Amino acid sequence: MFEKLSQILIPIAGRLNNNRYLSVLRDAFMLSFPLTVFGSIIVVIINLPFLNDWMGADNLARLQELLNIAPNATLNIMTVFVVVGIGYYLSRSYKVEPIFGGMIALACFLMLTPFILTQDGGTTIADVIPKERLGAKGMFLGMIVAFIAGEIYRKVTQRNIVIKMPPGVPPAVAKSFAALLPACITLGIFLVINVIVNVTFHNNLHDLIYKAIQAPLVHLGSGIIPTLIAIFLIQILWFFGLHGQIIVNSVMDPIWNTLSLENYEAYSQGAEMPHIITKQFVDIYTVGIGGTGMTLTVVLTILFFLKSKQLKQVSKLAVGPGLFNVNEPVIFGLPIVMNPLIIVPWVLAPMVVTLITYFAMYTGIVPPPNGIQVPWTMPLFFSGMMGTGSLRGGLLQLFNMAVVFVIWFPFLKFIDRMNVRKEQEEEISASAKEQTVGM
């Protein structure tokens, strides 16, 4: 059964993993990661619960006013970084000058962005870019534009429609002139698109894309059923030795990150978070408990409750990395890959924990994720508190560990008995050989 299933899944997963556009999208989001983490750290600092009592309301308001520039320059304009990243990495994958690909993609995105802010009551302010256009609301348009602009730029370049400078011209100057015609053609196409949309629909492409594509996809991705399907696929792919996060998250991350940005915008304004399912929901409450499959619980169970020398050796090697959510030692050392004895808890535990976490947040027992970027290596409990802004977020992670223990323990105990019996037989065999040699 496993062989037939692997014959179906492995080719599909391989094609997804090697897909140029999904790889570029993954790398583009990682480009923004250090910037958004910095902004998230500042948000955590200025929202610490004891600051109001320690500093006073007026001083705290002044501090927040001074430091709010950090999240505004990072988290709130994340779409800008993603657009540049897509243009850069897509161009690099085609071996054309990548920095121009990133800048051209950004210029094309801004060309479709209305430089006008409409306030409550209908008052408009010209020559400004609404922050929401550079954040969650512009995410999908930004990705679409960046991919199309990158493709146009590289096709024009590869067809040699460029201005070539004579030998001896400095390389930076030669590259700028070489990018001139591709840039003009690409930007000209998007300028025409913007004119057509404005004249035909009396609207901007931001609002059209948001209503037609982004809003429905975000609504779908925020549901518990699609999330459970994604978790199931991640676990199954890992079981066959394929990196489930890279493959599945390449598809889901644009949706989950958009949900995170919308939650962060609500959190920064003191409003109620609109979504439970976000990028942080998935990362903190599945990967954030020892890595994929929450294997820190598995490692600790082996270390304290089982007897097999082989399993204990694996757990000793895996416990250190597991505290920081690196679990390759246990995935390939237990092993989990292609081990039919543990496929049930490996798949079941993350799905059960996802349901429990969703229920806890849906009922208000634990606040939903606030959209703050938490480094994936942040140890559990602390990541739960940072991701929700509440002690209850960390306590929920500890409760989830107990659930994982209950699901995994019978299977681990069975494997332990098998290993102990095998180790005892090997010891008896080795002892018999020594006695034979001694005679």
DSSP collapsed to 3 states, 399-433? HHHHHHHHHHHHHHHHHHHHHHHHHHHHHHHHHHH
CB of 358 within 8 A of CB of 284? no
Cα distance between residue 411 and residue 48, in whole Å: 42
Please name the helix (run of DSSP H) or strand (run of DSSP E) that holds residue 51, with its range, or none: helix 51-55
Q: Looking at the whole model, is its pTM more than 0.85?
A: no
Query: pLDDT digit string (tens) for 400-429?
Result: 999 999 999 999 998 888 888 888 887 777
Residue 120 has a pLDDT of: 64
Query: Strand pairing partners for 417?
Result: none
Type of residue numbered 348? L
| DSSP-assigned states of every residue in 348-407 | HHHHHHHHHHHHHHHTTSSPPP------TTSPTTHHHHHHHTSHHHHHHHHHHHHHHHHH
Q: Which residue has the tokens 């969650």?
A: 136
Residue 14 has a pLDDT of: 65
Selection from 218, 209, 229, 211 nearest residue 274 by Cα: 218
Residue 26 has a pLDDT of: 82
Residue 432 has a pLDDT of: 63
Please state the φ and ψ torsions of residue 334, each to the nearest 5 degrees.
-65, -45
Q: Which residue has the tokens 């299933």?
A: 5
Provide the H-helix boundaries in 159-241: 171-178, 180-201, 205-209, 215-221, 224-239
Residue 437 has a pLDDT of: 57
Residue 2 has a pLDDT of: 55
Residue 5 has a pLDDT of: 58
* Residue spans of the chain under pLDDT 50: none
- Spatial neighbors of 45 by CB under 8 A, at least 6 apart, are 67
Query: Strand pairing partners for 117?
Result: 125
Q: Can the peptide bond before residue 410 be classed as cis, meaning omega within 30 degrees of 0?
A: no
Type of residue numbered 265? E
| DSSP-assigned states of every residue in 224-281 | HHHHHHHHHHHHHHHHTTS-HHHHHHHHHHHHHHHHHHHHHHHHHTTPPP--S-SHHH
Cα distance between residue 367 and residue 272, in whole Å: 10
